[in-house]
Amino acid sequence: MSERLETGDTAPDFTLPDADGTEVSLGDRRGRKVIVYFYPAALTPGCTKQACDFTDNLDLLAGAGYDVIGISPDKPEKLAKFREKENLRVTLLADPDKKVLERYGAFGEKKLYGKTVTGVIRSTVVVDEDGKVERALYNVKATGHVAKIIKDLGV
């Protein structure tokens, strides 16, 4: 199991392909706050709800200085289908080898329907303008999570 990040840690930098195959780096966002959220799979009910909630609140978050990046183990082609089908405006990145998921503590053992399994741990990490972890939330729920983040951040 990978180490979970804590407030004050330096957020691990990453470069991953987006839904169009264009490389996106966290380091390129220095000077802006970034909400990085990790989800198990595109085109599934919970992940769709969460992505749509972020998209619906994207203008509010952007106005408060936040970029939003969603990361899953899906390939860019599947992310493109997800984006088109749901009219998503958040940046979706592909991490099929799960290296970034592991570095952020968002991949490992979790409980699923009472059984212990290994997989993506639904998580959100808020990174400040200097690349430091402002908050790290693990085992979050897909529904209501975006509203909670907005409230917690005072947006």
Identify the residue whose tokens are 């503590």.
105
Question: What are the helix (H) ranges across 9-89?
Answer: 45-56, 58-63, 76-86
- Torsion (CA) 78, 84, 89, 95 in degrees, nearest 10: 0
Catalytic residue among 26, 36, 47, 120: 47
Q: Which structure tokens are listed for 77?
A: 């082609």
Active-site residue 52, yes or no?
no
Beta bridge partners of 33: 66
Q: Which structure tokens are listed for 122?
A: 């639904």
- Residue numbers annotated as active site: 47
